[in-house]
């Protein structure tokens, strides 16, 4: 078998390694396996499933009732303090939350609004008194609430929100105000119908000073459900998906709230209007308050990976059953997944889904470390945020891209609601722009990479910097965010005899992916250095001219993160066959990423032209090699038909194909089989030829 592996020739079925699906399922379930199993058992309940084609009113009612069911099942309190009936278990909470996406993404996100945003804001930004007063109603859903951060005019740039909360020392109240239309709160889940209360983000102004954005507790509606005086609410109406959630708009016209409604963990106002905060720097204070939002990004990452898995289960299963065209046999058509292009469409996405599963597990572990207090240092919080900002865009785009490719790979069947691809894709679409617009998050990653790099060279003169670029010396600072360099840069000697083996070497892959990211950051840093002393406007222009390159660097960084997570996971798999197959999938992930930026490697001399030309044929052979294991891998995702709920994955197609083949077999064996006109014509032509020959 060794020689087969070396040159990647096809392996005979008998020689193939075996994938232990039970083992892989455990590996993929990861650290919170039992929580995930519990959550999946809950999500299997038909009462929680999306009914396709409901009106938004019906769907909203259904989802609200489902939230009540989740409360009854005790499914949504894991992150809350044990003194209020929670479990103080942040990692498990997110893991369980992610699995809800298989039931209905609207259910997931509405639960996220209630307990992950509204509730979490009270938990993380409020005091013990706030907890005592507000958490019970939030937890048992007697007080549905909105998370009123985003405004029509400001989404990603939270620091520039227009809503104000001005302290009136005489009345000991804050006055909430929407000073212009663009400051209207928008797209708030729970606002249009269900929300009784809200956490409102507004500029805190006291004693003539604006202390920046803070969070305030606020009542929205009275017990009859009517908006309170000064509060205007409008319905955002129909959306591209997630129509089980009642998104709406809220504006404030001199709405007075008690001083104590300021969620005051990171900033407080005394009765006389004096402001105080445990964090002196307004910038750091702001980012600390916003840091609690990272949970949303982490959970969207996991949910997107789960949805991609559902899509791949459907498309791979169907691709293994549906037949089309009969190029290789006159009587039997090819199974879709035997086509090279079909493999190209599905298997790299399967590999990326595995990579993302492992990367997300690391991300969730870090979140748990921070929120459990195991390591909630500033540095670790920042790492968590950067990691989330890198992986969330990749995962959410991957989710909708994979669902789309899966839908197309099933043709017209993929478009019918009974197969869910389009529905899931529509619901997950907004994941790429909410809880941090993906493009903005990627810039955040790029800036972190840059500042990390700059920190190392802040004292270095230009000469030292250029020497660094030339010698590519060991950089310890770049370690933290995956920018660690390999012990020795891989030299592409272009040795053709070893071409096939070169790309599959772990150290070659590591070096190629890591060096690219580091070089891109260095190139961008060099381009930006010149701007440091320019006026603000020119500085911004130089930065903008490099924006695209910076975002590409962030993407390259994410490629490294995923590859590292995948590679680390391999080392923990003891079973030889499973590890071998997963290693091939890791190779596929790495080589498709490298193939996608092959021009960069060529332009920068990291891969020789000769070698580069062997890459795509190598990937193609890898696809053919991995094709027999695709079904095993999707079966290892551990979802049952209660989660998948797709006709294409039900086995019905296999039954239909077998019935059709049986029909034709019997027909061919019978005397009733009609003769094909083409065959008739061939026979006639032969007879004519024969008779002509006889005549001649």
Catalytic sites, residue numbers? 435
Q: Which of 228, 680, 686, 687 binds a second copy (CB under 8 A)?
A: 680
Nearer to a second copy, 385 or 405 (CB): 405
Mark residues 573-602: x for contact with a second copy by CB under 8 A, - for none. ----------------------x--xx--x
Interacting positions 277-296 with a second copy (CB under 8 A): 282-283
The C-alpha atoms of residue 554 and residue 22 are separated, in whole angstroms, by 35
Please answer whether residues 390 and 483 qualify as being in contact, where contact means their C-beta atoms are separated by less than 8 angstroms: no
78 forms part of the interface with a second copy (CB under 8 A) = no
298, 363 Cβ separation under 8 angstroms: yes
505 part of the interface to a second copy, by CB under 8 A: no
**61: which residues sit within 8 A by CB, 6+ positions away?**
none
CA distance 129 to 263: 10
Q: Total residues at the site for a second copy (CB under 8 A)?
A: 116
Give least dist CB 79 to a second copy, A: 25
The yes or no reply on residue 548 touching a second copy (CB under 8 A) is yes
Q: What are phi and psi of 650, to 5 degrees?
A: -85, -10
Residue of the chain from 2, 3, 238, 571 that contacts a second copy (CB under 8 A):
238
Q: Pick from 130, 360, 407, 627: which binds a second copy (CB under 8 A)? A: 407
Q: Could you tell me the smallest distance in angstroms from the CB atom of residue 438 to a second copy? A: 8
In the DSSP assignment, the letter for residue 330 is S
Nearer to a second copy, 222 or 418 (CB): 418
169 forms part of the interface with a second copy (CB under 8 A): no
- Pattern of binders to a second copy over 338-367, x per CB under 8 A? xxxx--x-----------------------
What is the Cα–Cα distance from 101 to 40, expressed in whole angstroms? 10
- Told to check if 669 binds a second copy by CB under 8 A, we report no
**Tokens representing residue 1 in the block:** 């078998």
Contacts of a second copy in 208-227 (CB under 8 A)? 208-212
Answer yes or no: are the C-beta atoms of 629 and 581 closer than 8 Å. Answer: yes
In what helix (H) or strand (E) does residue 694 lie, and over which residues does it extend? helix 677-695
Question: 413 is written with which tokens?
Answer: 């069947």
Q: Which two tokens stand for residue 231?
A: 């509060």
Least Å distance, CB 28 to a second copy, is 28
- Of 376 and 418, nearer to a second copy (C-beta) is 418
Shortest distance, position 450 Cβ to a second copy, whole Å: 14
- Residue located via tokens 């021009």: 599
Nearest CA to 156 out of 122, 187, 130 is that of 187
CA distance 629 to 577: 11
Identity of the residue, 328 or 471, whose beta carbon is nearer to a second copy in the bound complex? 328
Which of 142, 226, 274, 324 lies at the binding interface for a second copy (CB under 8 A)?
324
Q: Is 648 in the site for a second copy (CB under 8 A)?
A: no
187 forms part of the interface with a second copy (CB under 8 A) = yes
**Residue bearing tokens 């212009």:** 180
- The contact pattern for a second copy, residues 53-72, with x = CB under 8 A and - = no contact, is x-xx----------------
Using the contact rule CB under 8 A, the part of the chain among 129-137, 378-386, 609-617, 684-692 near a second copy is 609-617
Q: Using CB atoms within 10 Å of the CB of residue 43, give its burial: 0 to 12 exposed, 13 to 18 middle, 19+ buried.
A: buried
Q: What is the DSSP string of 283-295?
A: HHHHHHHHHTTHH
- Residue 325 binds a second copy (CB under 8 A): yes
DSSP lists the bridge partners of residue 252 as 231
Q: Which residues contact 296 (CB under 8 A, 6 or more apart)?
A: 112, 116, 117, 435, 436
One of 7, 14, 412, 670 touching a second copy (CB under 8 A):
412
Which of residues 180, 530, 641, 691 is near a second copy by CB under 8 A? Answer: 180
125 lines the binding site for a second copy (CB under 8 A): no
Q: Does 682 bind a second copy (CB under 8 A)?
A: no
């Amino acid at each position: 078998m060794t020689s087969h592996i070396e040159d990647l020739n096809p392996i005979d079925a008998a020689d193939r390694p075996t994938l232990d699906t039970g083992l892989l399922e455990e590996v993929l379930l990861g650290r919170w396996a039992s929580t995930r199993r519990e959550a999946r058992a809950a999500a299997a309940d038909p009462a929680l499933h999306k009914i396709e084609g409901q009106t938004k009113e019906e769907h909203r009612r259904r989802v609200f009732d489902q939230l009540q069911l989740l409360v009854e099942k005790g499914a949504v309190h894991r992150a809350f303090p044990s003194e209020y009936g929670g479990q103080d278990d942040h990692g498990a909470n997110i893991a369980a939350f992610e699995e809800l996406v298989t039931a209905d993404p609207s259910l997931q996100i509405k639960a996220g609004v209630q307990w992950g945003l509204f509730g979490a804001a009270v938990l993380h930004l409020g005091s013990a008194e706030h907890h005592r007063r507000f958490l019970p109603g939030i937890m048992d859903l007697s007080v549905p609430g909105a998370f009123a951060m985003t405004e029509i005019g400001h989404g990603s740039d939270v620091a520039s929100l227009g809503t104000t909360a001005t302290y009136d020392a005489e009345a000991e109240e804050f006055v909430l105000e929407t000073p212009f239309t663009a400051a209207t709160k928008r797209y708030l889940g729970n606002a249009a119908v269900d929300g009784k209360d809200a956490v409102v983000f507004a500029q805190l102004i006291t004693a003539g000073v604006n202390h920046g954005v803070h969070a305030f507790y606020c009542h929205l509606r009275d017990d009859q459900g009517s908006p309170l005086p000064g509060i205007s609410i409008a319905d955002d109406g129909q959306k591209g998906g997630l129509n089980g959630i009642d998104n709406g708009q809220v504006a404030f016209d001199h709405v007075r709230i008690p001083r104590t409604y300021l969620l005051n963990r990171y900033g407080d106002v005394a009765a006389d209007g004096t402001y105080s905060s445990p964090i002196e720097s307004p910038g750091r204070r702001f980012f600390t308050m916003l840091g609690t939002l990272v949970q949303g990004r982490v959970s969207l990452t996991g949910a997107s990976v789960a949805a991609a898995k559902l899509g791949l289960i459907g498309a791979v299963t169907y691709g293994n059953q549906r037949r089309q065209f009969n190029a290789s046999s006159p009587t039997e058509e090819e199974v879709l997944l035997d086509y090279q292009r079909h493999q190209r469409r599905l298997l790299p996405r399967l590999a990326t889904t595995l990579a993302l599963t492992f990367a997300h597990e690391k991300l969730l572990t870090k979140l748990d470390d921070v929120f459990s207090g195991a390591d909630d240092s500033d540095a670790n919080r920042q790492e968590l945020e950067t990691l989330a900002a890198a992986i969330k865009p990749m995962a959410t785009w991957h989710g909708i891209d994979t669902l789309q490719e899966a839908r197309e790979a099933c043709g017209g069947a993929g478009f019918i609601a009974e197969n869910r691809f389009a529905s899931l894709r529509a619901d997950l679409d907004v994941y790429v722009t909410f809880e941090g617009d993906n493009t903005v998050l990627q810039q955040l990653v790029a800036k972190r990479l840059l500042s990390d790099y700059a920190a190392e060279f802040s004292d270095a003169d230009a000469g030292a910097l250029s020497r660094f670029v030339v010698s590519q010396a060991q950089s310890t600072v770049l370690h933290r965010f995956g920018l660690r360099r390999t012990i020795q840069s891989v030299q592409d000697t272009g040795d053709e005899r070893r071409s096939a083996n070169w790309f599959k070497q772990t150290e070659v892959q590591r070096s190629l992916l890591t060096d690219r990211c580091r070089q891109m950051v260095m190139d961008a840093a060099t381009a930006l250095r010149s701007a440091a002393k320019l006026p603000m406007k020119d500085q911004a222009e130089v930065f903008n001219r490099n924006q695209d390159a910076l975002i590409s660097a962030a993407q390259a960084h994410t490629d490294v993160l995923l590859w590292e997570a995948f590679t680390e996971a391999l080392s923990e798999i003891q079973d030889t066959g499973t590890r071998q197959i997963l290693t091939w999938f890791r190779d596929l992930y790495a080589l498709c990423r490298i193939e996608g930026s092959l021009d960069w490697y060529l332009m920068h001399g990291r891969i020789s032209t000769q070698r580069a030309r062997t890459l795509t044929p190598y990937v193609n052979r890898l696809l053919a090699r991995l094709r027999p294991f695709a079904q095993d891998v999707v079966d290892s995702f551990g979802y049952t038909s209660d989660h998948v709920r797709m006709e294409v994955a039900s086995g019905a197609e296999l039954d239909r194909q077998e019935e059709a083949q049986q029909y034709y077999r019997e027909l061919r064996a019978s005397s009733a089989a009609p003769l094909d006109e083409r065959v008739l014509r061939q026979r006639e032509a032969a007879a004519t030829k024969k008779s002509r020959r006889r005549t001649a």
